[in-house]
Structure 1
Amino acid sequence: MNARIRFQLSTMMFLEFFIWGGWFVTLGTFLGNNIQANDGQIAMAFSTQSWGAIIAPFIIGLIADRYFNAERILGVLHLLGALLLYLMYGTSDFDLFYPYVLGYMIAYMPTLALVNSVSFNQMKDPTKEFSFVRVFGTAGWIVSGLIISYAFHWDSETGIAKGMLRNTFLMTAIASAILGLFSFTLPKTPPRADRSEKVKLSNILGLDALKLLTDRNFMIFFIASILISIPLAFYYQNTNPFLVEIGMENATGKMTLGQGSELLFMLLLPYFFNKFGFKKTIMVSMLAWALRYLLFAFGNVGEFSFFLLIGIALHGICYDFFFVSGQIYTDSKAGPKYKSSAQGLITLATYGVGMLIGFWVAGKISNLFLQADGSHLWRDIWIYPAGFAFLVLLLFAVFFKKEKIVYKS
């Protein structure tokens, strides 16, 4: 890639994840404290991410792989997202907030696959090049968290009491409008599927990539992706409310420590990936998931506050080693024809089916350990995702056969 294209892709990734991190991290805290939503309603709001992810491969398969350039659809979706974020900013009732966040997630989740497709289309060897572009997405998430905690103090006790967390939606609405317009300047990423082929129902719904499931290893990876996303949902839904509830100051800013570790491990990923292979990389990530939840279970803001910080810092291994490795693995399996559909399929497995189940389970377990004074028995809550992540690790270790990544021409 030349410097201009690298800059464009890096800026795209920065804004993509600045937007997501800028409102999603504090969503549970905002809903519980400023809209007085209960655990069940908070789980409903978070599950809109999963409904968006379930719909995403249908949109991607129809539009990006078959009819329209990926970068143009990316622009349209982010402009629509800017409007919906602004509507969320002006809403203080959960019954009104829910359809807006659902509509937003249906628009946003396909963009996760689209930014990958636009990036991969410019790369000769994504195993070496992708992480150096994707790392700017991590930087965007970090900057959004630092702005919330340290620039504006929206997540401070006073800020929460004054309802200032709603400003996160205005901030990200502006960023989404910028990315929407910027997307039309990105390198052209035309559809690759043959439009002269007879259109089948699977084509219309974007399910072309389902044929990848006939590969045994990919099927095991697909199932593992669904299962490991169940404990992942606990992190997204519960971590910020957990840290705020137990009294951690600048919780959102400190959570960016996780993205800071992402920066490091994103840069280490090509070495680790090529040195130890795909299977070991995935297994390390699963072990990190189990360990982080145990650290959350036994940490506190006093003597064992370092447990919490280490648990947050493990996010780099948890996320990069599983999800970024998985995106590269999926891209290698798909070949040039169905790259967008394949990325949409893995988004369906992780952010869709897996996390939909996970958000529901997290809401039920959180409510189960809710005390009369409104606080939670967090140690009991965190034990559940820790145990489940370790079980998924054992299953993957047994059934996934060692495989070398080979790109199809």
Structure 2
Amino acid sequence: MNVQQKENEMLNLLEKLVNIDSGSHDKEGVDQIGKELTPYFIQIGYDLEMKEQKDVGNHLVYRFGSTHASIIIVAHMDTVFEKGTSAKRPFSIEGRRAYGPGVIDMKASLVSVIYALSYLKESGSSAYEHVQILLTSDEEIGSPTSRSLIEKEAKGKRYALVMEPARRDGSVVTGRRGNGRYVIEVHGRAAHSGIEPEKGRSAIEELAHKIVKLHDLNDHERGISVNVGIIAGGNAVNTISDTAIGHIDVRVATIEQAKEMELKIEQLCATSDVQGTNIELTGDMSRPPMVKNKQINELYRVVKKVGAELGLSIKDTKTGGGSDASFTAAMGIPTIDGLGPIGGYAHSEKEYLDVDSLTERTLLLAKIIEKLAKPNENTKKEVS
């Protein structure tokens, strides 16, 4: 099998996937993505175990018989786009770039996984038999139902390969900041702002105090960022608000910082600045940071070496965005992220795939799997 000769096939499958809306809360759409993909994995020789979900798409686990997998590939089927987006701007190709909702994050990666495994099988390598694939449905909303599954299925694996797209310069990802999401809900007392304002207790005023204090927790030099990105409150301009809500995004560079920020946010919201208001805080540090430790660095060296053998110069980078790679890395499993094709502007109308990278990164993935599934003595020493 020549991967380059499969480009049209791969693009046809990608077009089909991109033109299916699969936002995180669109269970029907995400499940349809799974139905499109499953026959390909079954044809390669994998068995499907479906993890049914009520409110989000079903998670899919593919295993090769009773073979004990040493490698887990993690990818997600959901996107950030609303239902109807694909009808407004369906899959298209202009020059050597492909466009459409989710084209790079991460439907191109789903195609890449299938064709990398197919390549291994058709080329006579048994490496694909040592791979387990986990496709999740809620990564874009923080993996609330899939985190425990990822951790369960990753347990005992030697390596984790996560299929978020490569960066625009082709870099893979070896470090990510941890991510937390919180909601602060303030309850006050409504009153007419002209007739009896003294009887009111403004929830908006209390939230404003908390926003200032939360933003004071920013320490960008240490890699800590706190942002109240969405607020809502009140129902009339002449009424003192009795409710207000703020949505908080937190990013940290280390496990220690995650614990530190959890404590500080809880302490900050434990008392009110405006007498007579009450605060309810929900949420947590949902994703730990992915720290580039010795094991991750050694796995990156293997990836870089495989790339060099294919004539590719593979660089690595750190990013502030969240990913399921954080879960496997926190378990101590050597993890590389950003192994998908190259593209940019994910989550926007300008999202694109570098078409040339689709086959290029598919072959790279296949060769990485082959190297890791049957490591020689040098590889064992490199990743240990």
- What's the TM-score, normalizing by structure 1? 0.26
Between 1 and 2, higher relative CO (CA 8 Å, sep ≥ 6) is seen in 1
Name the structure with the higher strand share. Answer: 2
Larger radius of gyration: 2
- What's the TM-score, normalizing by structure 2? 0.28
